[in-house]
A and B are shown apart, each in its own frame.
Chain A
Amino acid sequence: MIKLSGVTKIYSTGTPAVRNLNLHIGAGDFVSIVGQSGTGKTTLVKMLIAEERPNKGTIEIGDTDITKISSSDIPYLRRQIGVVFQDYKLLPKRTVYENVAFALEVAGEKRDRIHQVVPQVLEIVNLSHKASSYPPQLSGGEQQRTAIARSLVHRPKIMIADEPTGNLDSINTEEIISILKKINEFGTTIILVTHNREVVNHLRRRVVTMHGGEIISDEHDGKYKL
């Protein structure tokens, strides 16, 4: 499903962010990528959604090497990958419903389909009752659930969650992780980037540990080591 081969990214400042990454993630996997700040986790996420391009190596998603796709194809790639961030990245002047619908609107989906899909995903994340609220009116957990709902509208085969619980308390963290597990049960590959020890240890899934821009361990049924 996802295959990184010899991926190296050096920023224009000369700082190497990641070096010679080799990683294979299969369909339906739930992988936690852990490591301290500045180890290249976010750079890896950015490369997976083609926000950054590696200096060396290839990143294959399905049959496509995304390091070679044109700028005009990037939006189509992003519609196939659900992404959730620590800071939620919601449009503050659009309601919960509009934020979720926006991802479908920009993909050219018809109105009937939007009216059908948006309530469904809002129900999955238990936010139907907040559909007409604006992001600033929501709690952190609700905002993150909105972001997850938005990432689900295209029924992505891959979902990347970059520190999704970083701003949340333990109750909301548990709720978000259980939603991610539920999504994974439907067959979606989950890549969870985190440095939350409890979450990783509780999950008991595959753990990839990064340090200094390199992968230092990759264990199935792993634990948080650092």
Chain B
Amino acid sequence: MLSFFRVLKFALQDLWRNISLSFMTVFILILMLLSVNTLWSLDVLTKQAVEAVKKQIDVSIYFVPEATEKNVTEIKNYVMLFPEVTDVRVQTKEQVLADFREKHKNQKEALEALDELGANPFGPTMIIKTKEPKDYKKIIDALNVPEYESIIEAKSFDNHEEAITRLQNITNRIERVGFGLTILFALISFLIIFNTIRVAIATQKVEIGIKRLVGASNWFIRGPYLVESVIFTIISVSCTIGLVYLALRWIDPYLAVILPNGFSLTNYFYSNMLMLFGAQALAVLLLTVLSSLLAMRKQLKV
């Protein structure tokens, strides 16, 4: 216990007496963590944006005016059998008419034309949502059968197909590029941190030699650097949490405009804080401890 407190004391003394080097190490660690968090935020935002767009996509099945409730219910039950389908909503012909009138309330000609017809020209409409945009094709194909030809007037999916395919491609590409960037950045960060700590230890090469000469055990020489690694980790992760929090609070109002589903990065940050920063703290700790051990290996050769 006594030796642990001494190691802690030596670590704090070394930190303070090499304050500029300590500051540089922490600064680089913070930069690395901020970059990782930026990538993470972009990934979360991309996923949210894609989800938001996906939610706005659906397939509308327009029935002929003569379609009965029984016909519609039969098709609804059939569609709901597909595991890919998440929601099926039916609008009666009366609701469709009411919606039309509401939508075109300022278009006098349209409403007059409707009145001239005397009867409701619309059939019921079925709105289907699936888990993934690619599932719509399967549903459409399932409805393209002769027995439904006489009651289904039109399907609106064709208009979205190209957009959905493009969206899928963009999402996949962003995920691939994001993953590649994260790997690349982690590698660069590792090299920077490794070299920063190696330089820090190299500058104290003489001191390490003196400590060995007066009979310091390897633990007494290595210990302070390991404790310093823990302190660097705690300071850099804490500062990063603070900076990320402030940045997210600033970004959130702008996001609220872009993402209409009320998504908040700050809330996401809160609910995943332990996992996100725990993983980052662990990674930084491993990085700094590993760098210290590698850098000291040469100096500790007796």
A76 engages B214 (CB within 8 Å): no
Q: Is B216 at the interface (CB under 8 A from chain A)?
A: yes
Q: Is B220 at the interface (CB under 8 A from chain A)?
A: yes
> Among residues 198 to 239 in chain B, which have CB atoms less than 8 Å away from a CB atom of chain A?
206-207, 209-218, 220
Contacts of A75 in B (CB 8 A): 212, 215-218
Q: Report the Cα distance A103→B217, complex, angstroms.
A: 11
Measured CB to CB, the nearest residue on chain A to B301 is A71
Contacts of B2 in A (CB 8 A): 108, 110
Contacts of B17 in A (CB 8 A): 93
Q: Is B3 at the interface (CB under 8 A from chain A)?
A: yes
> How many chain A residues touch the partner (CB < 8 A)?
27
Contacts of A76 in B (CB 8 A): 215
Chain B, interface SS category? helix
Q: Report the Cα distance A148→B9, complex, angstroms.
A: 25
Q: Contacts A106-B215, A106-B216: A51 and B302 contacting too (C-beta < 8 A)?
A: yes
Measured CB to CB, the nearest residue on chain B to A87 is B206
B3 engages A78 (CB within 8 Å): no
Q: Report the Cα distance A79→B3, complex, angstroms.
A: 16
Measured CB to CB, the nearest residue on chain B to A71 is B302
B302 engages A50 (CB within 8 Å): yes
Measured CB to CB, the nearest residue on chain A to B16 is A93
Contacts of B216 in A (CB 8 A): 75, 102, 106
B214 engages A106 (CB within 8 Å): yes
Q: Is B6 at the interface (CB under 8 A from chain A)?
A: yes
Contacts of A91 in B (CB 8 A): 207, 210-211
Please encode chain A, from 58 to 90, with 1 for each CB lying within 8 Å of some chain B CB and 0 for all others: 000000000000011011111100010000011
A108 engages B210 (CB within 8 Å): no
Distance from B204 Cβ to chain A, minimum over Cβ atoms (Å): 9
B6 engages A105 (CB within 8 Å): yes
Contacts of A154 in B (CB 8 A): 215
Measured CB to CB, the nearest residue on chain B to A88 is B210
B217 engages A72 (CB within 8 Å): yes
Q: Is A19 at the interface (CB under 8 A from chain B)?
A: no
B302 engages A89 (CB within 8 Å): no
Q: Is A107 at the interface (CB under 8 A from chain B)?
A: yes
> Among residues 4 to 40 in chain B, which have CB atoms less than 8 Å away from a CB atom of chain A?
6, 13, 17-18
Cβ-closest 9 pairs across A and B = A79-B215, A78-B215, A106-B216, A103-B214, A93-B17, A75-B215, A75-B217, A106-B220, A89-B210
CB-defined A-B contacts under 8 Å, sample of 24 = A49-B213, A50-B302, A51-B213, A72-B217, A74-B302, A75-B212, A77-B215, A79-B214, A79-B215, A89-B209, A90-B210, A91-B207, A91-B210, A93-B18, A102-B211, A102-B214, A102-B216, A106-B211, A106-B214, A106-B215, A106-B216, A106-B217, A108-B3, A154-B215
